[in-house]
Homo-oligomer: A and B are copies of this chain.
C-alpha cells in the first residue's frame, strides 16, 4: 500500500504541498506516478525519498532548483561518487585567466607540497579554494594561500574525528545518502564554526 499513495498522502508524508509536488513533476525532478485513471496517479516510497532529497538540497544545501535538477540528473545517471554528483552543479567561477591560474598554482603548492596531501589533480575543491583566495583579495586583503592554514589543520583533525567516531557522519549507503552526507557536513560544519566563534568572541 505504501507504494500506492495518492498525491494527498505523498504530500502528508513528505511535508511538501500538492502544488509543490505537481511543480516538481512538471519540471522533471521526480518520475511521474503510476497512472490509475484518467485523472489519478499513485506514488511510492521512491517519491518520498526524492522529495526528502530535494528538500535537503534546497534548504540545507542552498541549491537552486536548476542546480537540484543537475544533481538529480547526475544521480539518476549513476555517476561514481557524491563529489561527482554535487560537482554537476557547476556553480563555480569558470574564469580562466592569469590571475586565476596563479591562485590555482598557489593552492596546488599548498596542498601537494606544504600539506603533503594526496588529492586528485582535477579535484574541484582545488578550484574552489583558489576562488576563495581570489575572493579575499578582491575584498582588499593582501593575503597568501597560507591564510587558510587554520582550515587545513582543522580539516585534518576533523577527518580523524570522523573516522574515529562511533558513527562516521560521512558513512553512507549509496549515492543519495552520500550526497546528503556531504551537504549536511558542510552545513553542520558552518553552523558549528559560527557558534564556536560566537562563544569565543563572547
Considering the complex, give the chain B residue whose CB is closest to the CB of A93.
B59
A12 to chain B minimum Cβ distance, whole angstroms, is: 12
Indicate if the CB atoms of B135 and A151 lie closer than 8 Å: no
Indicate if the CB atoms of B159 and A200 lie closer than 8 Å: yes
Collect the chain B residues with CB atoms within 8 Å of residue A143's CB: 167, 169
Q: Of A1-9, A22-30, A68-76, A175-183, which binds chain B?
A: A175-183
A103 to chain B minimum Cβ distance, whole angstroms, is: 12
Collect the chain B residues with CB atoms within 8 Å of residue A195's CB: 111, 117, 119, 123, 125-126, 129, 155
> Contact residue range for chain A?
35 or more
Could you pull out 10 A-B pairs where Cβ atoms are within 8 angstroms? A55-B93, A55-B135, A83-B194, A123-B198, A136-B184, A150-B158, A151-B188, A158-B193, A170-B197, A189-B189
A31 to chain B minimum Cβ distance, whole angstroms, is: 19
In the assembled complex, the Cα of A197 lies from the Cα of B196 at a distance in Å of 22
Main secondary structure of the interface of A (DSSP, over half): helix
Complex partner residue of A149 from B136, B165, B181, CB under 8 angstroms:
B165
Collect the chain B residues with CB atoms within 8 Å of residue A83's CB: 194
Indicate if the CB atoms of B191 and A125 lie closer than 8 Å: yes
Complex partner residue of A125 from B92, B169, B183, B192, CB under 8 angstroms:
B192
Q: Which residues of A line the B interface, CB within 8 A? A: 15, 49, 52-53, 55-56, 59-60, 62-64, 83, 91-93, 95, 97, 111, 117-120, 123, 125-126, 128-129, 131-132, 135-136, 138-141, 143, 147-163, 165, 167, 169-170, 173, 176-177, 180-200, 202
